[in-house]
Structure 1
Amino acid sequence: MFEDKKDDFFLARWVSGELSEEEFKAFKKHPEYQYYAKIMAGADALDLKTYNVEKELIALKSKRENTTNKKKKGTVIKLLPYVAVAASIAIIFGIFLFGPKDDFATQYGETLTVQLPDGSEMILNAKSKASFDKDNWKNTRLVSLEGEAFFKVTKGSKFTVSTKNGEVSVLGTQFNVQSHNALFEVNCYEGKVSVVNKNYTEILTAGKAYRNYGNTPENWTFTGAEPTWLTNTSSFRSIPLKYVFKELEEQYNIQINSSNIDLTTIYTGTFPNNNKEVALRTVFSTLGMDYTISEDGNTVVLEK
């Protein structure tokens, strides 16, 4: 399940409370941690019967001894102590996956990769939300999004991402959608996408982008195979400063006091998503602004 885990029973050991402190800390940083935490949150609501491991071990060993296709005894011993836990995970996992509606959300500085029912992939950026109806997926392939996400869509029927600012429809492609307040931006990385924003419709091909904020549509071309935020860098092209500050806040869980700043100032630049000190220095030095940080590190006060 996790490429970076050396043992095959990582989830079972997690459920059993057998992870070391270092392993648990590393797991919490994994993009799928919240996903499994949500699965396990429903465990208390299930009335699972106690699994008699010793009894089932004896029965299974007896059955296996009577077959011609025998396996090593050591393999059986290694697997069976985790059977009850693994079975519980499978039951919970099935209930969670096949519910009528799936909702996903990321916190400050987090990203989350979600495999959709048709094999398409959705990667959520920090402080974003997405949902879809699994039961009706074959008929709709519809995802509701608030925030930012990158999609890798498998070919098939029309695939639609719906936001409060507009819709993006494709058949099979890779694209990024950002919808924050009045900002709506779409970048096409592969294939072709249809963008509908209020009374405006745009067809984007690979390397083309569309943006609308303040009822002002804008188009441009770009290079790159994927959004830079996937590699821990936030990038901005001629965008009002308020959206840059919003991204800083969402990546680092901070509040920027900008009461004396003109937030309509246009900004072009980047900052890292994994080093707060460098990110703040990069943005504000570019703008020629001084700043101070509160003692708790949660508030940034700007000075002209």
Structure 2
Amino acid sequence: MLDDKKDDIFLSRWINGELSPEELREFQSDPEYDHYKKIKEGADALDLTEYDIDTALHQVKSKSSITVKKKTKPVIQLWPYLAAAASIALIFGLFFFNSNDSFITSYGEQLAVTLPDGSEMILNAKSEVSFDKKDWETNRTVSLDGEAYFKVKKGSKFTVTTANGEVTVLGTQFNVQSNDSFFEAVCYEGKVSVNSGQENTILVAGKGFRKIARTASENWTFEALEPSWITNTSSFRSVPLRFVFDELEDQYNININAKGVDTSIIYTGTFPNNDIEVALKTVFSTLGLQYQLLQDGKTVVVEN
């Protein structure tokens, strides 16, 4: 039945409420009716400005010096129907093909996102996450590149996948960071399972796991209740200096020129994420290095 009804004119008549009672009943009995009904409800919710085709056409004609010979055959104006059909196609795409959600943060930016089940995640600067909201009830999986803090509601298995490993939980609070060859998971509440390469470990509250490139993994204990970057402070515990420079660049949108500096040396310390002068002085004075922030405000030259 619907194969005969899928033309633009039929859909336009249905949208405009011009179907006969018999046509409407027949259409409502079709298996695809519910799909088109959802699409129409979505279209009705949009705030669309009505476009006066006749006025616009008259304005175009009045500005044209070309004489158009009138045709004697009747002409059916299809524009309104084609426009309606195009709107349906567009909204159909939004409803049925945009099931993935993705979020990206820029330099120095944080972003809080509420997931479909009410769980929460906060993205740190220069991070990206994506998940499939369509299958969320049966597949609570988030793909992460960067750093994010999660507050997961109890329910089915919740997994954070990264290029360096994955973290699986049922309901807890934890932080995951994955950048290039750096992978770290920290548990603040509950229990999490961490899988990185051939290593599997269970973290309870107050425990952390880190794997950097091909070095041996590391576990440690802490007392903090949440990651420090949530309150605009980047903290580092025995990490190679290159990752500290990476974080400075991500937070302040700068480029650190540190040729001749050994960035493999281990650094422990903090810097604020909302004051570049204090941040640079804190890091470089601790290392005994001289630096200069150039006039462009984007380049830091480090002197060994």
In the superposition, the TM-score normalised over structure 2's length comes to 0.69
Task: Kindly provide the amino acid, as one letter, of the partner of residue 286 in structure 1.
Answer: T
| Counterpart in the other structure of 1:246 | 246
CA contact (8 A) 1:99 1:134 kept: no
- Describe the SS at the equivalent of 1:137: coil
SS in 2 for 1:283: helix
The Cα RMSD (Å) is: 2.0
Q: Which 4+ stretches in 1 moved above 6 angstroms? A: none
Shift, 1:163, TM fit: 0.1
SS of residue in 2 equivalent to 1:285: helix
Which whole-Å CA distance do the structure 1 matches of 2:49 and 2:275 have between them?
A: 48
SS at match of 2:137: helix
Would you say 1:162 and 2:161 are equivalent positions? yes
AA aligned to 2:235 is: S
**Alpha-carbon distance between aligned partners in 1 of 2:237 and 2:293, rounded to the nearest angstrom:** 27
Give me the whole-angstrom Cα distance separating, in 1, the residues matched to 2:165 and 2:98: 27
Matched residue, 1:300: 300
Q: Using the TM superposition, give the Cα deviation of residue 118 of structure 1 relative to its aligned residue in structure 2, in angstroms.
A: 0.4
Looking at structure 1, the residues matched to 168 and 118 of structure 2 have their Cα atoms a distance apart, in angstroms, of 17
The Cα shift of 1:49 comes to: 4.4
Amino acid at match of 1:173: T
Structure-to-structure mapping, 1:1-304, within 5 angstroms: 48-50=48-50, 99-215=98-214, 216-304=216-304
CA separation in 1, counterparts of 2:211 and 2:124?
A: 20
The CA distance in 2 between the partners of 1:49 and 1:232, in whole Å, is: 43
- In 1, Cα distance between equivalents of 2:176 and 2:258: 27
Matched AA of 1:221? T
Partner deviation per Cα, 1:13-72 (whole Å, 9 max, x = no partner): xxxxxxxxxxxxxxxxxxxxxxxxxxxxxx9xx782449xxxxxxxxxxxxxxxxxxxxx
Rounded to whole Å, the distance in 1 between the matches of 2:197 and 2:275 is 38
**Distance (whole Å) between structure 2 residues aligned to residue 207 and residue 47 of structure 1:** 50
Output the CA distance in 2 between the equivalents of 1:214 and 1:100.
34
* Residue aligned with 2:217, SS: strand
Unaligned runs of 5+ in 2: 1-42, 52-90
Displacement after TM superposition at 1:99 (Å): 3.5
Rounded to whole Å, the distance in 2 between the matches of 1:47 and 1:275 is 42
Q: What secondary structure is seen at the aligned counterpart in 2 of 1:195? A: strand
Shift of 1:214: 2.4
Deviations 1:171-206 (A, max 9, x none): 000000000111100000000000000000010000
Letter in 1 for 2:209: Y
| Higher Cα radius of gyration | 2
Q: TM-score, normalised by structure 1?
A: 0.69
Gaps of 5+ in 1: 1-42, 52-91
Quick one: distance in 2 between partners of 1:155 and 1:129? 24
Deviations along 1:225-282, whole A, 9 cap, x unmatched? 1000000000000000000000000000000001111110000000000000000000
The 1-side partners of 2:99 and 2:238 are apart by: 41
- Looking at structure 1, the residues matched to 49 and 106 of structure 2 have their Cα atoms a distance apart, in angstroms, of 35
Identical positions, percent: 64
